[in-house]
Amino acid sequence: MLNALSKAQLPRHVAIIMDGNGRWARKRHLPREAGHVAGVAAVREVVRAAVDLGLENLTLFAFSSENWKRPKTEIGALMALFRAFFRSDMDELVAKGARVRIIGHRGRVAGDIQAMIEDAETRTAGNKGLNLTFAFDYGGQEEITNAARELARAAAEGRLDPETITTELFAARLFTSALPEPDLVIRTSGEHRLSNFLLWQSAYAELLFVETLWPDFGREALTQALHSFAARERRFGALNSDAVA
């Protein structure tokens, strides 16, 4: 058993690249879709654990802008699961005080999903509990490019002096403008890459790569990850007090 962590030891924002559903299914001689179904159960467990632990911000990478390259049948199954999750879990999320946001392109997903996303965001807009964000049809490079395009347009139209563009102003144009930067980015399934997730926002995030496949990740794995975060020494480019002569 791990000791309980104090609020001060917890990351303010945990972001997770939920990877390994397909391999989880393959190990069981099941279709990839079965891995995604099991992945949704892991989402449910991790969200419940995050609420119980008092985490402020949890962001889950559910579908990348590059995942459109997958076979149509798999994309269809993922979209169906997204719909089913919102239908079955919204009431619980509302009851738990979670504020739900979806970051991503939006325009490429089906109309009914767009409506569901808007409904989830409006229904939970006043909630003060866990900020639960799903990165869905999300790509970090696309997000940064869009922000750059918006600023360039404003400058071209004379509404913005390019000299006033600061990192803060730029960050305010990203999907995540309402959230603090992630302190901890976890990727499951043993892959050591970001796959276009929160590229700007993760500048000083602690990265944690675990072997666990996403469907096997749950309350205990999250707790372990938080302990591993609590043991990290963050410097943000400066020196810690004991290193200063």
Q: Which residues contact 73 (CB under 8 A, 6 or more apart)?
A: 33
Report in angstroms how near the CB of residue 202 gets to Mg ion at its nearest: 18
At residue 158, φ and ψ (nearest 5 deg) are 80, 10
Q: Please tell me the distance from the alpha carbon of residue 28 to that of residue 167, in angstroms, as a whole number.
A: 47
CB of 19 or CB of 206, closer to Mg ion: 19
At residue 207, φ and ψ (nearest 5 deg) are -105, 135
Report in angstroms how near the CB of residue 66 gets to ligand IPE at its nearest: 6
CB of 128 or CB of 192, closer to Mg ion: 192
Q: Please tell me the distance from the alpha carbon of residue 72 to that of residue 86, in angstroms, as a whole number.
A: 21
19 is catalytic: yes
18 is in the binding site of which of ligand IPE, Mg ion, none (Cβ under 5 to 8 A by kind)?
ligand IPE
195 is in the binding site of which of Mg ion, ligand IPE, none (Cβ under 5 to 8 A by kind)?
ligand IPE
Interface positions with ligand IPE (CB under 6 A)? 17-23, 61-64, 67, 78, 189, 191, 193, 195, 214
CB of 193 or CB of 234, closer to ligand IPE: 193
Write out the catalytic residue numbers.
19, 67
